[in-house]
Amino acid sequence: MTGASGASIVLRAPAGIGEVRPAYDLVGLVIAAAAHDGWSWRNGDVVIVAQKIVSKAEGRFASLDTVEVTDQARELARRTGKDPRLVALILAESVEVLRVARDVLIVRNRHGVVLANAGIDRSNVPQDTSKERVLLLPADPDASARRLKAGIDARCGVAVAVIVNDSLGRAWRQGTVGIALGAAGLPALEDARGQRDREGRPLQITRVGLADEIAAAASMLMGQGAEGRPLVLMRGLEYARRDGAAAELVRPLAEDLFR
């Protein structure tokens, strides 16, 4: 029995986060849910929150009834079969339309993330009786993660990392997986360049999307439906104490071979 020693990671999804409304204190909600679950904070803990509750706390609702529908939106709505008002909102959140097909509208959003419908969601959005509402992504998910980290660190006297995750589709693989829209307190992209394998060769895989792996792991516990658990706490992950941001995970346009 030689080589690396064993290692463990624990993921915990506390109960007790109900419907989140605009201007709710997300830091307080996370701390209360963790406390109710018996969690005592340690340095290096990772907090993963679903994009949806971050967006709700930040009041990122939009009403379909007040959207101005452009000609481009009308044309894309015809080709996709989607609501023209929704398409107009998607375009307003996007810098580039990558693919259009029946039921499919894949864009690059203003943060460079490639995703369907600019991440705009109609499910689990409480409806006003008079207006149809949708939920946009946080305006700046890395900033959301940083604020959440700063609040938890200050109130709990620790240094945690925070991931804001969402579930996205992939180009060649079926099913969504959790990815990091926002990150703070850890390297989102882990750089192993310069490391060597057991044979002394340089490693082929040199950069790991660590924050995306964390987001995917948390997504296993979060679920999607009515029983969704929008908060996951993680302990045991080894990571470099370098601060980072999910923006590191966005491939630069010049290196995009699949536009």
Minimum CB separation of residue 186 from a copy of itself in Å reads 11
Taking the C-alpha atoms of residue 18 and residue 76, their distance in angstroms, rounded to an integer, is 36
Name which of 147 and 215 has its Cβ closer to a copy of itself. 215
- Residues 202, 194: Cα–Cα separation, whole Å: 7
Beta carbon of residue 229, minimum distance to a copy of itself (angstroms, whole number) = 5
Give the nearest distance from C-beta 10 to a copy of itself in angstroms.
5
- Phi then psi for residue 106, to 5 deg, are -105, 125
Q: Which residue has the tokens 């679950």?
A: 37
Minimum Å distance from CB 208 to a copy of itself?
5
CB of 44 to a copy of itself, least distance (A): 13
In sign, the C-alpha dihedral spanning 141, 144, 150, 156 is negative
Nearer to a copy of itself, 100 or 150 (CB): 100
Shortest reach from residue 26's CB to a copy of itself, in Å:
17
The smaller minimum CB distance to a copy of itself, of residues 6 and 157, is found at 6
Question: How distant is the alpha carbon of residue 259 from its chain centre?
Answer: 22
3-state secondary structure of 249: helix
- Between 154 and 192, name the residue whose CB sits nearer to a copy of itself: 192
Q: Kindly give the pairing relationship between strand 231-235 and strand 46-50.
A: antiparallel
Strand order through the sheet with 104-109: 94-101, 104-109, 114-116
Closest CA to 124 of 28, 18, 231: 18
Residue with tokens 């992504």: 137
Closer Cβ to a copy of itself, 66 or 258, answer by number: 258
Question: Which residue, 36 or 42, has its beta carbon nearer to a copy of itself?
Answer: 36
Give the side-chain half-sphere CA count within 13 A for 138.
26
Identify which of residues 154 and 223 has a Cβ nearer to a copy of itself in the complex: 223
Shortest distance, position 182 Cβ to a copy of itself, whole Å? 14
CA distances for 81 relative to 78, 122, 124, 176, 211, angstroms = 5, 16, 22, 21, 34
